[in-house]
Structure 1
Amino acid sequence: MTQTCPSGATPAEAHAFLEAHPEVQAVDILLHDSNGIARGKIIRRHELMAIYESGRHLPISILGLDIVGEDVEETGLIWEAGDGDLRAWPVPGSLTAQQGTDPARGELLLGQYHLDGTPMLSAPRHALNRQVEALAAMGLHASAAFELEFFLLAPERDGQGRVQPAGDVVDGRRSTRTEVYSVDHLIGMQPLFDDIYAGAALAGIVAETLISEYAPGQYELTLRYRDDPLRAADDLVRLKRIVRAQARRHGVVACFMAKPMEDHAGSGMHLHVSLRDETGRNVFAEAPGAGWTDTIRHAIGGLLQTMGESMLVFAPHANSWRRFANQSYAPVAPTWGVNNRSVALRIPAGDGKARRIEHRPAGVDANPYLVAATVLAGIRLGIAQRCDPGAETTGNGYDRNAGGIPRDWRSAIEAAKGSAFLKDALGDEMHRTFTAVKAAEYARVARAIPELEYELYLHRV
C-alpha cells in the first residue's frame, strides 16, 4: 500500500531522475551509521519508484554496528529489538547519478524511520535535525560548511610496512616531502581531481578550493557554504565516497584516518558555522568598527564549556587521538582566537558580513552529522546561558595548554557516557547507541596485541 513519505520526498523526484538518466541501471541506497559509514544495498532501476512510494524495509541493526560491521548488543538495537525491520525513506533532493561507473549507477541517501513514520532517533541525520529544529525554535538558523582533508596513498606499503604517499597518476612520480601549498605538486594528480570535481557536480555538491596540505600525500578540498547544516553534512559524506571511488579508479588509496603517518600532521574536518535570524541577518556579524557581538562570544563560550565532554564525537576512534600534538595544527586545549590556527575555535579574518566560527577539533574520521549536532547544541547552550568565553588566545596557543579535554580515547568515552549535555545534543537514543559502539570498539582495540609490543618485549623481558 502506498504511504505518505515522512521525509517529504515525492515520487516525482524519482520519475524525473529516471527520465533524465536512461543510462542508469542501478542505484546505491545508503544509510549512515554512528561511525558515518554508508551501509545499504544496490537496487535495480525498476525498484527505485517503490522506495519513494512505500519506503524500503531495512533491519534496525544497521544502526547498531561497530566500525567493522559487527553487532553491538549494548546499543539495544540487535536482539533486544529482535533485529526487526524499520522503514527507510529517501532524503529529498539526494537522488543523483554517479561519476565513472560502468554500467551507470545512481546514489540515494535514506533516512531510517519507525513503521509508523516517526524518526528512528539512533540515526545520526535525525540527531542533527533535532538541533536544527531546536535552533529554529529560538528564531535562529545555521549556515555551515565542512573542510575535507585526506591522504592519497600508494596501494603497497614501503619496506618497513608503513603507508606511503601515492605516486602521481600522471607519471608515477612520488614525493615524500611536505609539499604544502605547492600548486605544481597538484598537477600530477589533476586527472583524479578532475574526476572528483565531476562526481561532485553530478551529486549537486559545489567542491571548491584544492590545496596540497601539510604532509606528504595530503590534500584538502573545501565545500561551498550551505544554508542547511543537514545538506552540509550530506555534502561531506558524499564527497568522501566520491574521493574514495575516484581514487580507486586511478589506482591509489584515499585515506580518511585522522593520523595515518606518525611523523606528519593528521587530517581534520573543520566545520565553519554562522547563524542567521528570521530576517536572514548574520547575528555573528559585528557593526563596522565595533567589537565582537555578544552572540558570537556566547556561542564560543558554550562550545568551550562543552568541548571536553564532547571530544568523543570529534575524535571517535583509537587513531583519532594520535592527531592531537603540539605544533600539529590540531588543537590540544579549549581555546579561541582570531585569525589563529593554533586554537580550537577560530574566528577567521575577513569581511564582518561573513563572520563565522571555525570549529577545529574534529578529525576527518568523525561523523559529520554528529559533529554538527554537537556543535549546534554547544552554540545553543552558550547563547541560552550567556556563557563567557574568557580572554582571546593570541600568539602560540600551544603555549597555553591548560587541559580541559580528555587526554585519551578511554577518558573521552567515560566523559561522553556521563555527559548530560551530550545526551541532549545527540538525543538519548543516539547517545546510547554511539557510546555503546565506542565502548565495544575500545574493548576490541584494548585486547589486541600490537606488533610493536612483540618488537619491544618478546626477547627482552
Structure 2
Amino acid sequence: MTQSPSGSDIAEAEDFLAAHPEIEAFDIVLHDANGIGRGKIIRRHELPGLYKGGRHLPISILGLDIVGEDVHETGLIWDQGDGDLRAWPIPGTLKSLHGTNPPRGELLMSMYHLDGAEMTSDPRHALKRQVAAMAAEGLHPAGAFELEFFLLDPDQSQGVRPAAAVLDGRRSDWTEVYSVDHLHGMEPLFTDIYRAAEAMGINAETVISEYAPGQYELTLHYRTDVMQAADDLIRLKRIVRMQARRHGVTACFMAKPIEKYAGSGMHFHVSLCDDQGRNVFAEEVEGRWTDTIRHAIGGLRATMGESMLVFAPHSNSWRRFANQSYAPVSPSWGVNNRSVALRIPAGELKARRIEHRPAGVDANPYLVGATILAGIRHGLAHRIDPGPETQGNGYEGGDDLPMPGDWREAIRAAQGSAFLKEALGPDMHRTFTAIKAAEYQRVARWIADVDYALYLHNA
C-alpha cells in the first residue's frame, strides 16, 4: 500500500462498503480549471484498490478547455508526453448518489505527482494553499457560496425558455420573483435535490424563485471550512443538473442564458476567525467597522480588476454585467446594498462577513475562493484603505480603480498579473490563462447568428 498524500484512509472505503451493500459503482471525479468534473466510473470491487494506491489519470485531464479539447499551451499535453499522474481520494467525500439505478456512489479526487507532491495545476490545491497561508497568519476563513441557476425547457426548437412545472406542466414566462406558489410547481424536483444533497452531507437550505423566468437560487449552510464550502457548491451543481435531467428539464449554469433577464451569480460570503475562534470582522459597536474588514475590502477592491477572469471566465460571463441587473459593474463596496460588488450584509455582529458578488455561477469555486482569500490577505498585509462606502445606487457614477471591459481585456489583465500568479500559484495561473486564451480564439473564429443578421445583406 502506498501512503496517500491526500490523507485518505482505506478504512473510509471499507466502512462505506459495509454500510452500503447495494452500491454497485462509483463516479470518481476530479475538477479541472473550468470546474468541470472529469474522471471515471469504477466498479464496487475497485474501490479498496483506489484507496490503497490511487488511480492513474493522464496529466492532460487538467489541460482541457470547456469542451474537453487539449490546450497545448498549458504545457500539460505533449510537452510532458501526456504521462500519467496519480489521483487520490479526498477524505470525507465518499458519498452515495440519490436516485441512481443501479445505485452508485461518488468520490472526489485530487491530483498528485507520482512521488506524492501536489500537482499544482489542480484548482483544489490553489484554494488549499491560500487556506494554509491564512492559517500561518493566525486566520481561518469560513464561508458559503450561493447557487443561482435556470431550469429550462430541454426542447429549444422554439428558443430558450423556462421549463414547465414538473408538478403539473404549468408554464409561466413571468419573472415570479420570490413567489412561493411558483416554487410549488417544481416541488418534486427540489425534494429530490434536497434528498440528494442530504445523502452527500450537504446542508442545502433556502430556495427562492429568483429575478428572471425560470431562475432559482439555493443557499448553502455556512461552513467553518472553506474547502468544504467549495466542495458543497461544486457537488450541488452536479446534483441539480442530475436531478433536473431525471425530471425532464435542463439545469443551466450559464452566467447569462437569456438576453433580457438577469444572469446567475455565485456570491461568496466570507468571514475570518482568529486562533481563538473570534470573528475578526465583527465590530464592537455596530457600524464602526474594524480595520480588519476595511483592509480586507480594500484588498479585494485593489485586486478585482486583474482577477476578473477568475470571476467571469467565459465569453458569456461578460453578458451578465449590466446596469441595474444585480450584477456589479465596478469594484464598489457598501452596507446592506445589492448594487455593489462587495457588500456587508445586515445582521448580527457575530455573523459579520463580506458578500463577494462579482463571480458568475459559471466560475470555478476553488479558484474563486483562492483569489478572494489572496485578495483579503493582500489588503491586510498592505493595510489598504477601501475608500468611501457607496451610498444608494452603485450603478451611478464611476470608480477610480480600473476594470476590464470585456473577456479579452480580462484575459490580458490576468496574464500580466503578479497578484493572480501568487493567488493561484504559477502553474495554475499558467494553465488557467492558457486555457482562457485558447477558448477566446475558439469563440473569435465562430461565425455567430448575429453576424448573418447584421451583415449578410447589409455589408
TM-score band w.r.t. shorter chain:
over 0.9
The CA distance in 2 between the partners of 1:184 and 1:409, in whole Å, is 38
The 2-side partners of 1:267 and 1:158 are apart by 23
Aligned partner of 2:69 in structure 1 is 70
- Superposed, which structure 2 residues align to 1:69-218 within 5 Å? 69-157=68-156, 159=158, 162-218=159-215
Q: How does 1:20-59 map to 2 (within 5 A)?
A: 20-59=19-58
The CA deviation string for residues 194-246 of structure 1, in whole angstroms up to 9 with x for no partner, is: 00000000000000000000000000000001111110000001000000000
How far off is 1:452 after superposition? 1.2
Matched, 1:389 2:382: no
Q: Deviation per CA, 1:310-355, whole angstroms, max 9, x where unpaired?
A: 0000000000000000000000000000000000000000001000
CA distance in 1 between counterparts of 2:398 and 2:311 reads 18
The one-letter code sitting in structure 2 at the alignment partner of 1:393 is: T
Q: CA deviation at 1:289?
A: 4.5
Structure 1: which 5+ residue stretches go unaligned?
none
TM-score by length of 2: 0.99
Query: SS of the counterpart of 1:211?
Result: strand
Secondary structure of 1:88's aligned partner? strand
Deviation of 1:380 (Å)? 0.4
1:291-310 alignment, distance < 5 Å: 291-310=288-307
- Distance in 2, Cα, partners of 1:104 & 1:270: 33
Answer yes or no: is 1:266 the counterpart of 2:263.
yes
CA offsets per residue over residues 375-408 of structure 1, 9 Å max, x none?
0000001001000000000100000232621010
The partner residue of 1:438 within 406, 416, 436 is: 436
2:353 corresponds to: 356
User: How far apart, CA to CA, are the structure 2 residues paired with 1:77 and 1:375?
Assistant: 26
Give the secondary structure class of the aligned counterpart of 2:323.
Answer: coil
1:219 aligns with 2:210: no
- CA shift at 1:156, angstroms? 1.0
Distance in structure 1 (CA, Å) of the matches to 2:340 and 2:152:
29
Q: Are 2:165 and 2:186, in contact at CA under 8 Å, matched by a contact in 1? A: yes
**Amino acid paired to 1:455:** A
Residue 443 of structure 1 aligns with an amino acid whose one-letter code is Q
What percent of counterpart residues are identical? 72
TM-score (norm 1): 0.99
* CA-CA distance at 1:158 after TM superposition: 5.4
Q: Separation in 2 of the partners of 1:429 and 1:226?
A: 28
Across the aligned residues of Structure 1 and Structure 2, the Cα RMSD in angstroms comes to 0.7
Give the Cα–Cα distance (whole angstroms) in 2 for the partners of residues 325 and 158 of structure 1. 28
Letter in 2 for 1:416: A
**CA–CA distance in 2 between the matches of 1:49 and 1:169?**
40
Q: Distance in 1 between matches of 2:73 and 2:277?
A: 43
Determine if contact 2:286/2:349 at 8 Å carries over to the other structure. no
Rounded Cα–Cα distance in structure 2 between residues aligned with 1:271 and 1:78: 33
CA distance in 2, matches of 1:65, 1:351: 44
CA contact (8 A) 1:284 1:355 kept: yes
- Secondary structure class of the residue paired with 2:396: helix
Distance 2:441 2:286 in 1: 54
Aligned: 1:314 with 2:302: no
Kept in 2, the 8 Å contact 1:158–1:164? The answer is no
Q: Which amino acid aligns with 2:456?
A: L
1:127–1:369 CA contact under 8 A, matched in 2: yes
Query: Partner residue of 1:344?
Result: 341
Work out whether 1:277 is the aligned partner of 2:251: no
CA distance in 2, matches of 1:245, 1:237: 13
**Aligned residue number for residue 417 of structure 1:** 415
3-state SS of paired residue (1:220): strand
Correspondence for 1:426:
424
Aligned AA for 2:53? S
Aligned partners of 2:278, 2:457: CA distance in 1, in Å? 67
